[in-house]
Amino acid sequence: MNFIQTFSPLVGRVFISLIFIVTGIGKITGYSGTAAYMDSVGIPGMLLPLVILLEVGGGLAILLGFKTRLVAFLLAGFCVLSALIFHFDFDNQMQFLMFMKNIAIAGGFLFLVAFGPGKYAIDNR
């Protein structure tokens, strides 16, 4: 296996996991505002702890390559649901871009589901 094939999965996992770790931590620090926003779009704010757990815990699992295929599958579903619930306003260019970003991230996670975490992952120990 050449250098790029060896290290690309690790770098890709770092890149894709960071958005979830950072935004999950942001939801902790801005808990009340995030819960209120969720309530405003019809999602019970009481679900926020589960969202935080999925984002931070799932992001860390992807970063470390732990239960990668399962967590990637769950995060792909989360991305699609988030796109449909929070960004399904195609008249608003920013919401359209956020929708497409979520769909693209879901696609990246599906690659992890199909091909696994690569050489440098806890899953391989």
Task: Take residue 118 and report the two structure tokens written for it.
Answer: 């690569």
Q: With the CA atoms of 84, 71, 10 and 109 taken in that order, what torsion angle do they form, in degrees rounded to the nearest 10?
A: -30
pLDDT tens column, 74-119: 999 999 999 999 999 999 999 999 999 999 999 999 999 999 999 9
pTM metric for this prediction:
0.93
Task: Take residue 63 and report the two structure tokens written for it.
Answer: 């970063």
**Identity of residue 85:** I
Distances in Å between the Cα of 99 and the Cα atoms of 21, 86, 118 are 19, 8, 28
HSE-up (13 A, CA, CB side) for residue 17: 22
66 φ/ψ angles, rounded to the nearest 5 degrees: -110, 120
